Amino acid sequence: MAFVVNSLPDYVEQHKGELLSKAILGFETKRYINDMPGVKYKEALNILATDPVLQARTCGWDASGNVSFTQRVMTVAPYKVNMSLCEEDLRKKWMQDELRTAAGAEVLPFEEKITDNIVKGVNRQLEDLIWNATDASNGFDGLLTIANAEADVIDASKGASDYETALNVYKAIPAEVLGKAEIFVGEDTFRSIVLEITAKNLYHYDPKVDDAKTIILPGTNTRLHGVAGLNGKG
């Protein structure tokens, strides 16, 4: 007589969706971008722009103005993580007393810490890829790669300090999108900006608007975020 368990999933498999969710949703920049679930390879975003023309009020009909449609194709790059963990490698090591054997089943010590660290490692890499990936190396283009290839991107002038550069970025934002615009910098640049603001006695900012990595740029209504994916990018 025996247990027949061929139809049951393995223990790790039961948490597969949870781990995948944590890995995909956990990196910093993810909080500021929208999901497009269900994309398997490529999907086109249809972009609508109108150009209405005001005319003098006269008799007659003179059509003027356009409704333009363009597309940006979103490309998905599949990734996976393969790791082989064997409890036998731990049996003669300092954590061997944590190994528990029952009815022939081994329980891996620190399994929750191990999986949490794997998820954090995936998140760190996704954070970097979302900004810096290149299609040739990573299967898709990151935000900086896309921006650098666009002729319409506005290049703000570099200031004498990171704070002055952030102000120049704010000044360069077109008025029609200013109400929804937000500024992103690396965590290193963010710290530099906060220190300069403090040194200038500009204490009328709240470093906890969203979290410790977001402030309202003093004198504006524009949020400034520090994200790890832009570290070292200036």
- The confidence band for 41, taking pLDDT boundaries of 50, 70 and 90, is confident
Residue 69 domain flag: yes
- For 211-222, the pLDDT digits (tens) are 688 888 988 999
**Residue 41's domain spans which residues?**
11-138
- Tokens coding 132: 């810096």
Q: Are 111 and 180 members of one domain?
A: no
On average, the pLDDT of the chain sits at: 81
Percent of the chain scored above 70 by pLDDT? 75
**pLDDT recorded at residue 207:** 56
* Residues 6 or more apart in contact with residue 98 via CB below 8 angstroms: 90, 109, 110
**pLDDT recorded at residue 116:** 82
Average pLDDT over residues 133-137: 91
- For 146-161, the pLDDT digits (tens) are 999 999 899 999 999 9
Average pLDDT over residues 89-103: 59
Q: Is pLDDT at 24 greater than 70 in this prediction?
A: no
Q: Are 35 and 132 members of one domain?
A: yes
Highest mean pLDDT among 29-33, 86-90, 109-113, 142-146: 142-146
- The confidence band for 164, taking pLDDT boundaries of 50, 70 and 90, is very high
| R_g of the chain, CA atoms, integer Å | 26
Q: Are 165 and 198 members of one domain?
A: yes
User: What's the total number of domains in the chain?
Assistant: 2
Q: Are 35 and 115 members of one domain?
A: yes
Q: Is pLDDT at 168 greater than 60 in this prediction?
A: yes
Q: Are 81 and 194 members of one domain?
A: no
The DSSP code sequence of the chain is: -----TTSPPHHHHTHHHHHHHHHH-SGGGGGS---TT-SSEEEEEEEEEEE------SS----EEEEEEEEEEE-----------GGGGTTSTTGGG-EEETTEEE-TTHHHHHHHHHHHHHHHHHHHHHH--HHHHSS--HHHHHHH-TT---PPP-SSHHHHHHHHHHHS-GGGGGG--EEEEHHHHHHHHHHHHHTT-----TBSSSTTEEEPTTSS-EEEEEGGGTT--
Residue 145 domain flag: no
Higher pLDDT, 103 or 40: 40
Last residue of a domain, one of 78, 110, 138: 138
**pLDDT recorded at residue 232:** 93
Q: Are 86 and 162 members of one domain?
A: no
Q: Is pLDDT at 193 greater than 60 in this prediction?
A: yes
Last residue of a domain, one of 88, 108, 138: 138
Last residue of a domain, one of 109, 138, 167: 138
Q: Is pLDDT at 129 greater than 90 in this prediction?
A: yes
Q: Are 15 and 117 members of one domain?
A: yes
Q: Is pLDDT at 57 greater than 70 in this prediction?
A: yes
Look up the pTM and report it. Answer: 0.74
Q: Are 124 and 206 members of one domain?
A: no
* Residues 6 or more apart in contact with residue 107 via CB below 8 angstroms: 99, 100, 101
Q: What number of residues does the chain have?
A: 234
* Residues 6 or more apart in contact with residue 172 via CB below 8 angstroms: 154, 155, 156
CA distances from 116 to 25, 112, 122, 129, 153 (A): 13, 6, 10, 20, 38
CA distances from 171 to 149, 162, 167, 220, 230 (A): 22, 14, 6, 10, 21
